[in-house]
Amino acid sequence: MARSTVTEHSEATTPFARGRLLVVALLGWNDAGDAASSAVRALQEAIGADRLIEDIDDESFFDYSIHRPVMRAGTEGVRKIQWPSVSFSGTPLPEDDKADPAVESTELAADAGLSVSSDNGENVFVLIGPEPTLRWRSFTKHVVDLCEREGITRVVLVGALLADVPHTRPITIFMSSDDAVVREELDIDRSEYEGPTGVLSAIGEEARSRGMLVLSLWASVPHYAHHSPSPKATLALVDRLTEIVDVSIPHGDLVTESAEWESEVTEATAQDDEIAQYVGYLERTRDMVEAPEASGEAIAQEFERFLEQAADKKPQPGPAAFPTDLSGTPQRPMGVERRTTAGDDGAESDTESRPDEDPERGDGGADDQDADGGQQGPA
């Protein structure tokens, strides 16, 4: 298939949105609360990106004992196996004689102060599916080959991580880039994370090596409420994608679902004194950090006060003793990595580290012959 002509979207609200963009979300431990995948699917539906460019289902990329194939009912009652795959999609190709629509500015999400145009969907492509478990280098090269074939010049990596944040406050979206031009354009910083990583980072590195601009968006999902989907985090990512990609993404039921989710989590946490106390600490810390008069000393004092209160009752929160989440599973604060002899990567270690940002531990993946099994940080 011949590559279609690249459209320079000169009316975009941000320079980053000019040219063609690939928006990526991979299910798994890059996708806490299903927030990233849900947000990118909302984008895909909004722009009608249902033209399948390639279904990447090469068996060399997947361990079927982890990503199980699914039996589906086919036509005329004949069942068929649906194999794990990552789809690379775009909007339908425009007709040659079809006039370009007029650019119209649309105010969206007034509380977020967003303003977007309505005609950039044809420049947006979507990559979504389960994170591959094998041969990451080959996979990322294949993805970026497709980007070059389609004339894509910008890549947006979307993820969600578990973090020690309160569910009652706005979801934080961390934006970062290793490209100086993107950082200056969007007034963002470079990520300082060092440690185990995943396929999103590999795609970003390969894309940058070929001259593409790369931006990372990560939503923080409360770790004590991560078992159910997090519509509040999805909504936050949708608003940010709306601004970055410059397309209108309808909220649908997300606003109502977010309010219901927050109410349900509040009710559940109130039934456990330890979790309620911890949520209160997170709220005070968040408010203090965002206050104009915030200082490192004040935040440290608040943390010490919380630990003293917790010590009067039970072992204080930490990697070894932490309040259970809503399912009763012992949890630890996000950002504290504890490696033990039962670690995902099989390596014996009893050390602890505290990276700046660190998403949910998961099954991990392997790059060709190397397994990555650890925790991934935002790209």
Q: Considering the domain boundaries, does residue 337 fall inside one? A: no
pLDDT of residue 16: 82
Confidence of residue 304 (pLDDT cuts 50, 70, 90): low
pLDDT of residue 311: 56
Q: Are residues 151 and 235 in the same domain?
A: yes
Q: Are residues 169 and 279 in the same domain?
A: no
**Residue that wins the pLDDT comparison between 378 and 201:** 201
**Residue that wins the pLDDT comparison between 143 and 301:** 143
**% the chain with pLDDT above 90:** 54
Q: Are residues 286 and 237 in the same domain?
A: no
What are the angstrom distances between the C-alpha of 252 and each of 125, 231, 239? 21, 11, 12
Q: Considering the domain boundaries, does residue 9 fall inside one? A: no
* pLDDT at position 364 over 60: no
Q: Are residues 175 and 132 in the same domain?
A: yes
pLDDT of residue 184: 92
> How many of the other CB atoms lie within 10 Å of CB of 213?
20
pLDDT of residue 354: 37
Q: Are residues 137 and 200 in the same domain?
A: yes
* pLDDT at position 37 over 60: yes
Q: Considering the domain boundaries, does residue 346 fall inside one? A: no
CA atoms within 13 A on the CB side of 87: 12
pLDDT of residue 337: 39
Q: Are residues 301 and 206 in the same domain?
A: no
Number of structural domains found in the chain = 2
pLDDT of residue 120: 78
Q: Are residues 90 and 225 in the same domain?
A: yes
Q: Are residues 160 and 231 in the same domain?
A: yes
Q: Considering the domain boundaries, does residue 1 fall inside one? A: no
**Residue that wins the pLDDT comparison between 288 and 24:** 24
Q: Considering the domain boundaries, does residue 99 fall inside one? A: no
Q: Are residues 192 and 304 in the same domain?
A: no
Domain that holds residue 284: 272-310
What are the pLDDT digits (tens) for 320-347?
333 334 433 333 333 333 333 444 444 4
pLDDT of residue 374: 38
CATH number at residue 171: 3.40.50.10900
Over residues 245-252, the mean pLDDT reads 91
pLDDT of residue 112: 42
Q: Are residues 41 and 169 in the same domain?
A: yes
Residues 69-94 as b/e (b if ≥16 CB within 10 A, e otherwise) read eeeeeeeeeeeeeeebbbbbbbbeee
Confidence of residue 17 (pLDDT cuts 50, 70, 90): confident
d(CA 302, CA 100) in angstroms, rounded, equals 57
Task: Please identify, among 283, 310, 337, the residue that sits at the C-terminal boundary of a domain.
Answer: 310
Q: Are residues 208 and 286 in the same domain?
A: no
What are the pLDDT digits (tens) for 190-235?
999 888 888 999 999 999 999 999 999 999 999 998 777 999 999 9
Q: Considering the domain boundaries, does residue 103 fall inside one? A: no
* pLDDT at position 107 over 60: no
Over residues 159-185, the mean pLDDT reads 93
Q: Considering the domain boundaries, does residue 51 fall inside one? A: yes
Q: Considering the domain boundaries, does residue 5 fall inside one? A: no
**Residue that wins the pLDDT comparison between 347 and 145:** 145
Q: Are residues 232 and 296 in the same domain?
A: no
Tell me if 21 sits within 8 A of 125, measured CB to CB: yes
Over residues 247-264, the mean pLDDT reads 94
Q: What is the pTM of this model?
A: 0.72
Tell me if 150 sits within 8 A of 2, measured CB to CB: no
